[in-house]
Copies of this chain bind each other. A is one copy, B any other.
Amino acid sequence: MSLLDRVRTCQRWDPDAYRPFIVAGRPMGRVRHAFAHRLDDFPKVFEVGEAAVSLASGLTDFESRTAAVHEILLSLREAGEVPIWRDEAYPIARRWDEDPLMTMERGAVPLFGLRAFGVHLHGLTEVEGVPHIWVAKRSMSKPTAPGKLDHMVAGGQPHGLDIFDNVIKECAEEAAVPPELARQARPAGLVSYVCERPEGLRDDVCFVFDLVLPADFEPRNDDGEVEDFYLWTIEKAKSVVADSDAFKFNCALCLVDLFLRRGYVTPDDPDYHAIAHGLRLVD
């Protein structure tokens, strides 16, 4: 196993299993053929064709699209066909800087292969001059990736919240980082990927942040989403990422990005080229 394996995991999906999901004339996501057939039960909202599924052309604005789809998702949920329900509205857009075309319940977003955004924060510190990173163990009650290793702080990016405000909110909720400390987080780029996961097709952009913590800071979880925190050398985190799938798939990708940015992978590594070019999809 290798760091590149973790990158490849985030690129694994079968294009033949999907057809485009079109909103306002734009390909915004991808639906499995079986799910497309199911959506054919709702012809007022979904125009299902062999080549694509489109949101009904009569739904011409943000509010009507959001409301019409939400109503159907509620009935699919009732039928047990939206197994994860978060009660969080996600913006439907290909880029964060675009005006979203609608919002959708977070749990349904992967069923439509729609792009989602998230924030991932590396909690970094030094112990006797050696760079360390805080690692979280996800609670067994998390709907996705229970028990997997995670960043100190990470979270989905809901509609209507500024990215940096979300970082500060998640810092408080997940690791009891006081706002004045959380505000020192520095953006460090993004990773992006499309891959199949148990919950559906993930087409995500993760905004990456580095936060350098004082040596005496210890994260503490208040929202029940984290079971434990560990303070590891970055070298140890690198070994675990390379040699196992103990980290949640997209956290592993953000960590590979950190290792690349901070010189823990070197150009003489035969995977360097493929790793660097695998962290972001051209879009």
Residues of chain A touching chain B, judged by Cβ–Cβ distance below 8 Å, are 95-97, 162-164, 186-190, 192, 205, 207, 210, 260-263, 265-274, 276-277, 279-283
Contacts and interface: CB of A to CB of B under 8 A. Distances in A.
Given A97-B273, A187-B267, A188-B263, 6 more contacts: A95-B274, A162-B268, A164-B267, A188-B260, A277-B283, A282-B282
B261 A188 contact: yes
B276 A189 contact: yes
A210 B260 CA distance: 12
A186 B262 contact: yes
30 contacts: A95-B273, A96-B267, A96-B272, A97-B269, A97-B270, A97-B273, A162-B268, A163-B268, A164-B266, A186-B262, A187-B260, A187-B263, A187-B265, A187-B266, A187-B267, A188-B260, A188-B262, A188-B263, A189-B261, A189-B276, A190-B273, A190-B276, A192-B277, A207-B267, A210-B263, A261-B261, A277-B281, A277-B282, A279-B280, A281-B282
A227 B163 CA distance: 43
Contact of A186 (B186, B192, B207, B263): B263
A25 B267 CA distance: 27
